[in-house]
């Protein structure tokens, strides 16, 4: 009955969901590409022995790579995503080695069509993706379900507890939860997940590798750069205002903004225009500042290179509670000092490790952003010590990818063995 009510509610909202995708499609045409996938309709051919990975967006696609790659060549893989940024990055990472499609909306009939088409042997949901119809149907068809690199923030916990009976009903159908930390383990137990099916494994995001250092002309060598990455709506204006304040101390400083969603580049450019700052939108790192004081980069895939070149970066998604922060391991891995805002709920365990080691700066309010940047740029010893501490934190927490791969493999092999006996 509960799953029926959930689907009826989704069905009522379906016209709004369709309208929302169409509107987003005006800014990013990839929202409309393969639109029929959202309804569980696919042109791709089905394959035997197939594992279904679901990574909702860019961050999850990046995070799941280390685990997913270990299965390539051993099993067939289908990766579902929900956003164009996730889709494009997945296509860049894997090319034709795996099948990459948009996930069906979580209506019973759409998910049923997907499962009927691809017949997966296992479903791996990355991080916080608890989709009732997806989990219910896989469980009904005896397809093992794994929450990989699982996390459950305090805010998500409160939401699930407000529907505690339904949450417990759905989560109990998950075969295994591979949780990032002890605090996440405790929260999953609070929503009713059996303790014996919970394993604390750490986070795969510590298993990232630094890039090879760039030998091309370093635009950062000639200018002090204020780098702001993974920014969201409202944050860009704050960053630009902070940049204007910093010009008093660093008159030749330049600003680079890399928005979380590249389709917002034009609206960010309008903010620069209103502030009477010369700026341009660029796709590659071969730009210069001859005619611009600000650069808006419309490619997320260049972040590693930017971090490698920069001394300090502000990581967006952290100034407003509705975003919950973004990954700070990537800049640390590339020896870039880190500033974050007060709202890092999605990465609380990682942030605490960094803060305990004096490996990052967390400001209490966006008013503190110019001051924090100025202090790090003017104090080389402070900045270098912070970077060294961050690298040490990463080294101490490596190895989760291999652990999770083994857990997933063991469960799949166990299920196959049981079905054959």
Task: Tell the burial category of 255 from Cβ atoms under 10 Å away from its Cβ (0-12, 13-18, 19+).
Answer: buried
Residue 220: its pLDDT value, please?
A: 62
| Residue 209 within any structural domain of the chain | no
Residue 418: its pLDDT value, please?
A: 66
- Residue 191 shares a structural domain with residue 227: no
Residue 269: its pLDDT value, please?
A: 95
Locate 147 and state its tokens.
């929450």
- Residue 113 shares a structural domain with residue 232: no
| Residue 79 within any structural domain of the chain | yes
Q: List pLDDT tens digits, range 232-277.
A: 999 999 999 999 999 999 998 999 999 998 889 999 999 999 999 9
- Residue 343 shares a structural domain with residue 375: yes
Alpha-carbon gap, residue 213 to 216, rounded angstroms: 9
Contact 171, 191 (CB under 8 A): yes
Give the CA distances from residue 366 to residues 294, 301, 328, 331, 351, in Å, rounded to whole numbers and listed in that order.
Answer: 20, 26, 18, 20, 18
- pTM given for the model: 0.83
Residue 212: its pLDDT value, please?
A: 54
| Residue 52 within any structural domain of the chain | yes
Count of domains forming the chain: 2
CATH of the domain at 185: 3.40.50.11720
Residue 215: its pLDDT value, please?
A: 46
| Residue 8 within any structural domain of the chain | no
| Residue 210 within any structural domain of the chain | no
- Residue 239 shares a structural domain with residue 191: no
- Residue 180 shares a structural domain with residue 276: no
- Residue 186 shares a structural domain with residue 242: no
Q: What averages of pLDDT result for each successive group of 10 residues across the chain (421 residues)?
A: 92 94 88 92 88 92 93 95 92 92 96 96 90 96 96 88 90 95 93 94 86 54 85 96 94 93 92 94 84 88 85 96 92 95 92 96 96 95 96 95 96 75 57
| Residue 309 within any structural domain of the chain | yes
| Residue 213 within any structural domain of the chain | no
- Residue 299 shares a structural domain with residue 340: yes
CATH of the domain at 284: 3.40.50.2000
| Residue 3 within any structural domain of the chain | no
Locate 205 and state its tokens.
């995001």
Locate 287 and state its tokens.
């730009």
Q: What is the domain range of residue 238?
A: 219-396
- Residue 178 shares a structural domain with residue 258: no
Residue 216: its pLDDT value, please?
A: 44
- Residue 101 shares a structural domain with residue 239: no
- Residue 97 shares a structural domain with residue 179: yes
- Residue 76 shares a structural domain with residue 140: yes
Conformation bin of residue 358: beta by default, left when phi > 0, alpha when psi is -120 to 50: left
Give the CA distances from residue 356 to residues 185, 349, 361, 387, in Å, rounded to whole numbers and listed in that order.
Answer: 21, 11, 11, 14
Contact 102, 81 (CB under 8 A): yes
- Residue 247 shares a structural domain with residue 296: yes
Q: In what order do the strands lie in the sheet with 225-231?
A: 279-282, 294-297, 254-259, 225-231, 312-315, 337-340, 361-362
């Amino acid at each position: 009955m509960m799953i029926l009510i959930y689907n009826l509610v989704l069905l009522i909202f379906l016209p709004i969901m369709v309208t929302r995708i169409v509107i987003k499609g005006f800014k990013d045409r990839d929202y409309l590409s393969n639109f029929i996938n959202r309804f569980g309709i696919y042109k791709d051919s089905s394959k035997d022995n197939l594992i279904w990975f679901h990574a909702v967006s860019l961050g999850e696609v990046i995070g799941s790579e280390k685990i997913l790659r270990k299965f390539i060549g051993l099993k067939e893989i289908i990766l579902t995503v929900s956003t164009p940024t996730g889709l494009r990055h997945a296509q860049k990472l894997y090319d034709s080695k795996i099948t990459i499609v948009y996930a069906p909306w979580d209506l019973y009939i759409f998910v049923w069509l997907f499962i009927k088409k691809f017949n997966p042997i296992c479903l791996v949901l990355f991080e916080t993706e608890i989709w009732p119809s997806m989990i219910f149907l896989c469980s009904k068809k005896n397809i093992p379900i794994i929450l990989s690199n699982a996390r459950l923030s305090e805010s998500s916990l409160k939401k699930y507890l407000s529907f505690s009976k339904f949450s417990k009903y759905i989560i109990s159908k998950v075969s295994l939860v591979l949780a990032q930390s002890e605090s996440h383990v405790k929260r999953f137990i609070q929503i009713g997940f059996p303790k014996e099916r919970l394993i604390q494994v750490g986070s795969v995001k510590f298993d990232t590798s630094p890039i090879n250092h760039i030998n091309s002309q370093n635009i950062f060598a000639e200018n002090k750069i204020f780098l702001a990455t993974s920014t969201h709506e409202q944050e860009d204006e704050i960053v630009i205002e902070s940049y204007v304040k910093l010009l008093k101390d660093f008159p030749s400083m330049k600003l680079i903004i890399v928005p979380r969603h590249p389709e917002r580049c034009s609206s960010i450019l309008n903010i620069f225009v209103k502030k009477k700052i010369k700026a341009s939108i660029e796709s590659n790192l071969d730009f210069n500042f001859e005619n611009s004081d600000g650069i808006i980069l419309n490619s997320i895939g260049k972040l590693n290179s930017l971090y490698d070149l920069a001394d300090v970066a502000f990581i967006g998604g952290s100034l407003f509670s509705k975003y919950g922060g973004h990954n700070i391991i990537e800049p640390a891995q590339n020896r870039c000092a880190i500033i974050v805002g007060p709202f890092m709920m999605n990465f609380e365990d990682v942030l605490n490790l960094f803060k305990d080691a004096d490996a990052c700066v967390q400001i209490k309010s966006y008013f503190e952003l110019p001051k924090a940047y100025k202090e790090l740029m003017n104090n080389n010893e402070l900045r270098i010590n912070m970077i060294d501490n961050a690298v040490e934190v990463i080294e101490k927490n490596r190895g989760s990818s291999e652990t999770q791969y083994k857990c997933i493999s063991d469960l799949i092999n166990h299920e196959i063995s049981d079905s054959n006996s």
